[in-house]
Amino acid sequence: MKENIQLVLSNYESKYSDLSVFLDKEEAEFYVYIGVALLERVSIDAEEIGHKMFIGRLYNSGVKLSVLKERFEHDPRTIKKWGRALKTCDVDEMSKAFTGRKAKMKTTPELIRYVVQQYKERFILGHSFREKIIMRVEEVFGVRLSPSLISGIYRNCGDDLPDDSFDLEDENKATLEHEETFTGSKYVGSVQRSPFFSSDRPLSPNGEMIHHAGLVLFEKHLSSYPWFQRQIICQILSGAVNVEQSKSLCFESLAKFCPKLLKTLREQRQLLDDYATLDGELELYRINAGLLSDGPGKGKVYYFDPHTKRYTGTLNTLKGWCGSLHSVSRIINLDCFHTQSGRPCFIQHYSPYYDMRERFFMSLAVFDELFAPDDRSGRTFVIDRGIFGLECFKRFENDYLITWEKGFDG
């Protein structure tokens, strides 16, 4: 034990533990002992999450609320909130409890970068650019900002703000100023000047600055698709690989390539749901299989590869263990079939309600549709040891199974 440390909390003041808390001589850390053994050192800074969790653990261990208030000078309601959050084992609840008011801040770093990027593109948005930026921020981040805050963010965080007194009717001048605004931007995701054209290159008076201009290279191929498929393809080619990412696209520019557009996420999801049929899914897998030398209908060996990912969507799903987070969270299971050469050829998504031994045969029933009836037997499936189970083994009547026992190191 260090010399000259002050007793803050005695083990006699806790009902159910032998914890004692001391303050070191520099008054920078708390030393937590269990009996005579040093358990941990905790910062005295009340804003650190480790400090808050420490107080919550003391409350949960039986230390009286009045004692904690007196010794550590925290509000009793706050202490109770910290203790309850630790008991929930819910990452979202704990984050909300321990971040406090900071969790409700409107202007996060991501929001600031987004506003600065949109503000630099105000020449394209027209006279009502502030209202359009406010609407986009509200749709992406779920908060509504005032016009003055939008301008203040750019003044404080963007490059030097150019004079707003330009004439919007002068398209050539707006285009030139817009090009200069993007030069040397230090923000990720902002538009950069093309390196193939000189800065003093004269522009046509009838020229127009648009985003996603590279889509013109695919115009010949896009013209053969129905309007909604055309919109989705354009969004993917412009970098929005899912519906949510389409929020960051410029629909005024996309309108140059699509005869009709759905801007809201809800409408896009509803129409995608109508298109996303099982027959359409199987047709895509059949086309993909034709590109693989050992795909369905050609190969005989397949690897079953289950994945678990954190689920951040809008559906109510069960919670489970997420390996990437090393904690419990809302998850989704993605079960893949790979060919012998390691190429993915099939994938299905499941909630954690189903066990892997159930999910495999549910996936196999759909996977079989990619094979001719005569080819749906004699295959070999290599599966993780989680498939172990006598009832499960008995279901492999027409195919072969390779798996391994726990502790097998090859």
Strands 327-339, 6-9: pairing kind: unpaired
For residues 154 and 161, give the distance between their C-alpha atoms in angstroms, rounded to a whole number: 7
pLDDT attached to residue 302: 93
* The pair of three-digit structure tokens given for residue 290, joined into one six-digit string: 């034709």
Nearest to 1 by CA among 26, 30, 36, 25: 36
Strands 301-310, 319-322: pairing kind: unpaired
For residues 370 and 382, give the distance between their C-alpha atoms in angstroms, rounded to a whole number: 19
Domain limits, the chain: 6-103, 109-181, 213-275, 279-402
Inter-residue contact 71 to 77 (CB < 8 Å) = no
Inter-axis angle of helices 76-88 and 65-72, to 10 degrees? 110
For residues 48 and 51, give the distance between their C-alpha atoms in angstroms, rounded to a whole number: 5
Tell me how far CA of residue 14 lies from CA of 1, 11, 63, 158, 401, in angstroms. Answer: 21, 6, 5, 53, 57
For residues 357 and 360, give the distance between their C-alpha atoms in angstroms, rounded to a whole number: 6
Sign of CA dihedral 269, 275, 278, 283: negative
Please give, one letter per residue, the 3-state secondary structure of 248-310.
HCCHHHHCCCCCCCCCCHHHHHHHHHHHCCHHHHHHHHHHHHCCCCCCCCCCCEEEEEEEEEE
Q: Which portions of the chain are predicted below pLDDT 50?
A: 1-2, 103, 160-200
pLDDT attached to residue 196: 41
Count the helices and strands in the chain (H runs, E runs). 16, 10
3-state SS assignment for residue 209: coil
For residues 1 and 402, give the distance between their C-alpha atoms in angstroms, rounded to a whole number: 57
For residues 363 and 350, give the distance between their C-alpha atoms in angstroms, rounded to a whole number: 10
> How does DSSP classify residue 201?
P
* The pair of three-digit structure tokens given for residue 351, joined into one six-digit string: 């909630």
Tell me how far CA of residue 182 lies from CA of 121, 194, 195, 248, in angstroms. Answer: 9, 10, 12, 17
Q: What is the pLDDT of residues 234-267, one digit of tens each?
A: 999 988 888 888 888 888 888 888 888 888 888 9
Q: What is the pLDDT of residues 319-343, one digit of tens each?
A: 988 888 888 989 999 999 999 999 9
pTM, full prediction: 0.46
Architecture of domain 279-402: 2-Layer Sandwich (3.30)
pLDDT attached to residue 235: 92
For residues 205 and 29, give the distance between their C-alpha atoms in angstroms, rounded to a whole number: 68
> How does DSSP classify residue 218?
G
Helices within 290-397 (DSSP H only)? 356-367, 390-394
pLDDT attached to residue 178: 35
